[in-house]
Chains A and B, each alone.
Chain A
Amino acid sequence: MKDWLNLDRRDFLAALGATYGTAACAIAAPRSWFLDYSTTEDSSPRERFVNTLCPMCPGGCGLKIRVVHECAVGVRGNKNHPINRGGLCSRASVVLQDLYNPDRLHRPMRSVGGRGSGKWEPIDWNTATDIIADKLRTVREQSPQSLCTVLGRDRGLTRMAWQRFMRAFGSPNLIDAFPDDNLDVHPAVLATQGIQQRLGYDIANASYILSFSSGWLDAHWSSEQAARAFAEFRRGRSGFRPKWVHIEPRHSLTGIKADEWLPIRPGTEGTLALGIAHVLIREGLYDREFVEQRSYGFEDWVDRQGVNRLGFRRMVLQDYAPVKVQELTGVPEGDIFRIAREFSVNRPAVALGFDGGGCGSSATYDRMAIHCLNALVGSLDVTGGVTIFQEFSLLDDTHELNSVASRGLSSPRLDGPVDQRRLATSAIDLLADAIEHGQPYSTEALFLIDANPVFSLAEGKRLSAALSSVTFVVAVSGYHDDSNRHADLILPLLHGLHRWDFNLGHTLTGHSVVTVSQPAMDPPSGSRPPYDIVRALAGRLGEDMVSVLPWSTSKEVVDTVCRELFDASKGAAFGPANEDSWAQLLESRGWRAPFANNYEEFKRDVLDGGGWTDPIYFHREWDRVFRSPSGKFAFSSVYLDHSFKALPETNEVFDRDRRCLPNCRTQRRERDKTYPLDLYVYSLPNLVAVSSPNLPWLNDIAGAYMFEKWRTWVEIHPQTAERLEVGAHDSVEVCTPQSRLVLPVKIYSGLMPDVIAIPFGFGHKSGGRWCKGIGENPAELVTPHLDPLTGKSLWTATRAAIRKI
């Protein structure tokens, strides 16, 4: 201290001079050198709004992102977007939590310490690309078909890029992780109508809705749109209240909003539909004109070999009398008669069996039976009925294949022989078996693109083990998850708000919608859009590969999309509802007067508005709606008949017939003393997207209506609980032939007795801080049982037992 104060005169004067000098400079200096609190135009916050695509699910909603100082700070719905019209679902509301999530991956990672160890080291992009390209080069030289890509829910640029890549590479193994979401093929529609298009239900204009275990209101592929349609259904018509009857083993979030809930035994929905069909036919309540003019196989028929074949009418009248259906389904006979009559009288009536709801797939025959109800009341392709989405393709790949690609593409697919998936082009449930047995050939390299099948499949554990036998696994993911844990490399998936992209979607009323994604803010340094990853790999593999991806950036791809939309000479950029009305008014009469006068104006409008839509839907274009061999709705599927011809003939001709008809359960399951309960697994809609479990707000509300969160529980009917002497605060062991889980009990009267329900969504073994180790995954309990027509796992066929701990 003394030394510190030991100043001589020279030091004192120097310090004094420096102090005065600094003060003088401070006074003389402009204020802005220090702090800028001014409100001049130049320094005001740079605020802008970007209309873009919601990246949280494949529904294709439009977001309006508020960007301040080049940071996304707010989100609201795009009011002009024809799918969500300004609305936001719970997932879209937390898009910024996903964007700024501290657990997001931003750099390529290489597994160290062996695959599955969970240990990673960051590497640069060039190193990662070199490693992958070297491996792919070898694979392509030896057996290009041994490359497999499992693709997530993307319905835009990423899908297009990987489709082109795999085709040029010579591999037929582009497999959908979520076939129902992405394949555009509903097997029942393929069997009955011969088309590979998605369906929409014109709920807003329906007079009667009969939904079979369909979570169309809370787990719909376009939940915001479904909610809006429901609102219109409820309040859209004065002096008339449409009715909605919901049939499901559990009183779900969807069922709660219905006028009536009818509990049913899991897996018997198709049987009930045929019981209703029985009443419609027996009482002559069906649409005779439609059935006579537009359907095939309703009556008995004679095939080309002159053999008499069983028709739908006779099968239904013989096998599905309401009294028998009551015994099988648990739905009272009186209710079956009443519902059939209501369904017939209140037209347009629509039967929903496909959208959302329980996990896994329902049996294709069940789906066919439900869809037949729509045909019986003439609700196909009419206002208030079922709409068939118009075909609309962009960026078609017309490149000629070279010899390598042709040879590889001629190989059978990994996901099972055709006779295991007659009505599905992709069956991921069969993949584990193929990898495990190396049949029809070994899998040398596998890409996981924003997909987590180890978590989402019934046999996830088996796939997890199978992945270890694949020579090389690469994942493109936003977070660590149960599947990419088994990868050699993880490439970070750039968030949707950082990139150019597009999404092909539809409204429920069948209108085509293309939503354009544009960066709301600059991507993190060193990141790469998914398209750039594919293109960089293609570039390393040779000219023939990169030529199928001619656009150097994803922005160029979007430019081409805009150009193709402009050249299509129909539809318009998103605008106020009145602009859709204008297009509808004109196009329905054969006129067209677009708001944009040239391509530049059109592109500007598309980017400013957030996308493009064709607001016209032409009903009753039968050659588009029915592409079955008969050109009609097939109650008896000739498509399936041809498919089964390869099988050896049986002596029972009706067995062969029934394979082509909606052939639902006619025998009650035998009592199982070991596993006396039916297991019903339902999805928590907020957690179905790959990234969702990493978002704490979604975890918070996932089970809000059951007053549960951050854990998995088992729901038990009060009668069942009493019989098993289980209380509300107990934990029980749920046992199935497949596995067992310990879960807390929720006593819930919204269940059928002897059915237990478990939500699906928690239970990740790997992931971020808000995901890993939270709850249990009920998929582990599901007994493998495959649909013979699609090869998909049926989750409703599992029996279970409960043991009190």
Chain B
Amino acid sequence: MSNQLNHRWHQFATGVVVGTVVLGFACVTRVQAQSIQVTDVSSGDVTRGWRIFHEKECVDCHAIWDQGGHVGPDLGRSRTGQLSAGQLAGVMWNHIPKMLGQIEETGHAPSTLSRDEMNELFSLIFFVRQLDEQGNPRRGEQILRNKGCTECHSVDTSEGGVGPDLAKWGKYANPIVWAQMMWEHAPLMEEAMRRSDMVWPKLEGSDLVHIVAYVRSAGVSGEKNYLHPGSVANGQQLFLDKACNQCHPARAAGSSGSATGPDLSKANLPTSVGALASRMWNHSPAMTKIMREKNVERRPINPQELADILAYILALGHLDDEGDALKGEQIFAQKGCIQCHEREGVANAIAPAVAQLSGHATPVGMAATMWNHGASMLEQMTEAGLSWPVFNDKEMVDLLAYLRTLNSATGARGVSSQGETPQTGKGD
């Protein structure tokens, strides 16, 4: 009996251990599948990205805000709405045949990009897409008048007088500095406007950028005030430190649980810094009211801190939704990937086994791998009579989610940490 009990106990214990291991394994797998953080997709150095953009001759085909070639689209100006990292990788993938054809036409040898370099390029592209067009001073003047700002503020000390003369703000070229100053003074302004029975003016689109351009054209010199491109990591921390998360849940930052504001990772936010600053201005009275109700302290924010916070908020838009691994598996089969990438490594396969791809299953990793091996892939696919697969919208995200599940599921290892040179069956 006791032996039987012992045996059962042994079975139970074994079951618990095995179950725990399986559960743990599953959790680890799940965690790995979701492991891409907001800081991962915008962690590169934009200045290094600019250098790489020129050193690798990307500039020969692509311009950034008019500076560069015109073979491909202008990476700063192209306004295709919010673009996530996965979508960017998908866009790059889809255009590989065309890009390679253009490169061949220009006589350039395609350069290779390490994963770190691709990461810097991703950060650069995200950053330059956040920049605003140069403002139009005439439109700025109209906006100031139409919104009633000139009833309180003068720009050349000739009218107004309740609020400060805006001309002295001409040294602030960055709309974030304006947003910060408006944020700091919003309660006072709200009170003054309430007394004057004025309506809080709403800014649209790039209104703030035009206003800045107008004020700067008023002709005041002086040392300019510049901000460093925001740090997503700092912004994420500041989002918590400044208690933004008490009202706004944000996927990667967590919330206090009683959030009343929109989830910033899901909200349809503007894609440029100036427009986002305008949105912040518009919601200032509502934010002030809710903060008072919730007894949330209005903590001072300096311009660079606000730049970091906005960088974080904008980076949330680059973070992909969680991909669907099951759909990704179907896509892997439907798009014909499986015809070259075997599930198990085969010595003479024409492409690396699928398990080996899991190390590249991030947007940056996929983009780097695709860039470095695109030419040989295209050649082999052409020889094999296969067409280049096109991934639309979320398909690349789902595919990446599927690939990320493979690493632990198959127990495959051996992918280099750099990951830009997957082993193919031909031993390249």
Contacts and interface: CB of A to CB of B under 8 A. Distances in A.
Contacts of B54: 576, 578
B172 to A, nearest CB: 7
B132 A582 contact: no
Interface stretch (A360-368, A524-532, A583-591): A583-591
Contacts of B134: 588-589
B229 A591 contact: yes
A620 B217 contact: yes
A581 B59 CA distance: 12
Nearest to B225: A590
Interface in B301-360: none
B235 interface: no
Interface in B170-228: 170, 172-177, 216-221, 223-228
B171 to A, nearest CB: 9
Nearest to A390: B221
A589 B132 contact: yes
Given A570-B226, A578-B54, A590 B176 contact: yes
Interface in B40-76: 46-47, 50-51, 54, 59, 64-65, 67
Interface in B60-103: 64-65, 67
Contacts of A585: 64-65, 67, 128, 131
B47 A593 contact: yes
A592 B221 contact: no
A592 B176 CA distance: 13
B59 A590 contact: no
A585 B68 CA distance: 12
Interface residues of A, number: 26
Contacts of B175: 590
Given A590-B173, A591-B227, 11 more contacts: A569-B226, A576-B54, A587-B173, A587-B224, A590-B225, A591-B131, A591-B226, A621-B219, A623-B219, A623-B220, A623-B221
Contacts of A234: none
Contacts of B67: 578, 581, 585
A585 to B, nearest CB: 6
Interface in A552-600: 569-570, 576, 578-579, 581-582, 585-595
A481 to B, nearest CB: 42
Contacts of B227: 590-592
22 contacts: A569-B226, A570-B223, A576-B54, A578-B67, A582-B47, A585-B65, A590-B174, A591-B226, A591-B227, A591-B229, A592-B226, A593-B46, A594-B47, A595-B47, A618-B221, A620-B217, A620-B219, A622-B218, A622-B220, A624-B219, A624-B221, A625-B219
A630 to B, nearest CB: 14
A440 to B, nearest CB: 38
A58 B259 CA distance: 65
Nearest to B273: A589
Contacts of A623: 219-221
A592 B128 CA distance: 13
Nearest to B176: A590
Nearest to B226: A592
Contacts of A625: 219
Contacts of A578: 50, 54, 59, 67
B228 A591 contact: yes
Interface residues of B, number: 33
A616 B226 CA distance: 12
B226 A587 contact: yes
B362 to A, nearest CB: 25
Contacts of A576: 54
Interface string B373-396: 000000000000000000000000
A621 B220 contact: yes
A592 B216 CA distance: 18
Given A578-B59, A589-B173, A590-B176, A570 B50 contact: no
A69 to B, nearest CB: 33
B154 to A, nearest CB: 15
Given A585-B65, A590-B174, A590-B176, A570 B224 contact: yes
A592 B50 CA distance: 13
Nearest to B177: A590
Contacts of B224: 570, 587, 590, 616, 618
Contacts of A587: 173, 224, 226
B173 A593 contact: no
Given A578-B59, A622-B219, A623-B221, A589 B174 contact: yes
Nearest to B76: A585
Contacts of B47: 582, 593-595
Nearest to B212: A590
Contact of A618 (B176, B216, B229): B216
A591 to B, nearest CB: 6
Contacts of A592: 226-228
A579 B228 CA distance: 16
Nearest to A596: B47
Contacts of A621: 170, 219-221
A582 B76 CA distance: 13
A618 B213 CA distance: 11
Given A582-B47, A587-B173, A593 B220 contact: no
B86 to A, nearest CB: 26
Nearest to B174: A590
Nearest to B45: A593
A488 to B, nearest CB: 47
Interface string B154-179: 00000000000000001011111100
Contacts of B177: 590
Contacts of B50: 578-579, 582
Contacts of B229: 586, 591, 593
B221 A589 contact: no
B173 A588 contact: yes
A586 B216 CA distance: 16
A623 B218 CA distance: 9
Nearest to A626: B219
Nearest to B135: A589
Interface in A149-205: none
Contacts of B51: 579, 595
B59 A589 contact: no
Contacts of B64: 585
B160 to A, nearest CB: 19
A592 B217 CA distance: 21
Interface string A614-634: 001010111111000000000
A596 to B, nearest CB: 10
Interface string B251-265: 000000000000000
Contacts of A594: 47
B59 A591 contact: no
Contact of A590 (B128, B172, B223): B172
Q: Which of B65, B176, B217, B219 has the most CB of A within 10 A?
A: B219
Contacts of A593: 46-47, 228-229
Interface in B20-47: 46-47
Contacts of B228: 591-593
A761 B205 CA distance: 63
A588 B173 CA distance: 7
- Give the 6 A-B residue pairs with the shortest CB-CB distance, closest first: A590-B174, A622-B219, A590-B173, A624-B221, A592-B226, A621-B221
Contacts of A590: 172-177, 224-227
A135 to B, nearest CB: 44
A590 B51 CA distance: 20
Nearest to A595: B47
Contacts of A618: 216, 221, 224
A590 B229 CA distance: 10
A618 B218 CA distance: 12
Contacts of B223: 570
A329 to B, nearest CB: 36
A570 to B, nearest CB: 7
Contacts of B59: 578
A778 B173 CA distance: 54
A619 to B, nearest CB: 9
B230 to A, nearest CB: 9
